[in-house]
Amino acid sequence: MHIIIDESDPRPIYRQVADEIRRLIANGALAEGEALPSVRQVAIDLGVNLNTVAGAYRELQAEGLVTIRHGSGAVVASRTTSTRDDGELRKPLQSALTALVLAGVPRAEIVSLVRRELRALKNSSR
């Protein structure tokens, strides 16, 4: 599992870890049922505190993306068992689109940007 942490990113490190794991799940690099590395191993690999990685894993568990079994570790959950509803899933997209509109980005450019990002997500799984 390849996670990149950007020290200049304003997001907390635990959020960067969680976002990177989300990206890996979304693009298929982490498949359903696949075990995630231990919290300890990820913390060592990234040079961060154990609690930072544990917080990222807990966030992913709360979202239904991973299942954590004490003693067995974390595994990627089934996509069909997600407990998040459609409205909840749309909130981050609505926020991002609102930010783009408020920044004055033209609608056609927003659509183009979304298409590019979807292609990039699809292509990064290969």
- As a whole number of angstroms, the distance between CA 23 and CA 108 comes to 25
- As a whole number of angstroms, the distance between CA 47 and CA 110 comes to 36
Give the CB-side neighbour count of residue 101, counting CA atoms within 13 A.
7
Looking at the structure, tell me whether residues 55 and 34 fall in a common domain. Answer: yes
Looking at the structure, tell me whether residues 53 and 90 fall in a common domain. Answer: no
Looking at the structure, tell me whether residues 47 and 73 fall in a common domain. Answer: yes
Q: Which CATH number characterizes residue 74's domain?
A: 1.10.10.10
Does residue 39 form part of some domain?
A: yes
- Average model confidence (pLDDT) across the chain: 89
pLDDT of residue 121: 79
pLDDT of residue 85: 64
pTM over 0.85: no
Does residue 8 form part of some domain?
A: no
Looking at the structure, tell me whether residues 56 and 116 fall in a common domain. Answer: no
What's the total number of domains in the chain? 2
pLDDT digits (tens, 9 = 90+) for 79-109: 755 555 677 778 888 888 999 999 999 999 9
pLDDT digits (tens, 9 = 90+) for 50-79: 999 999 999 999 999 999 988 889 999 987
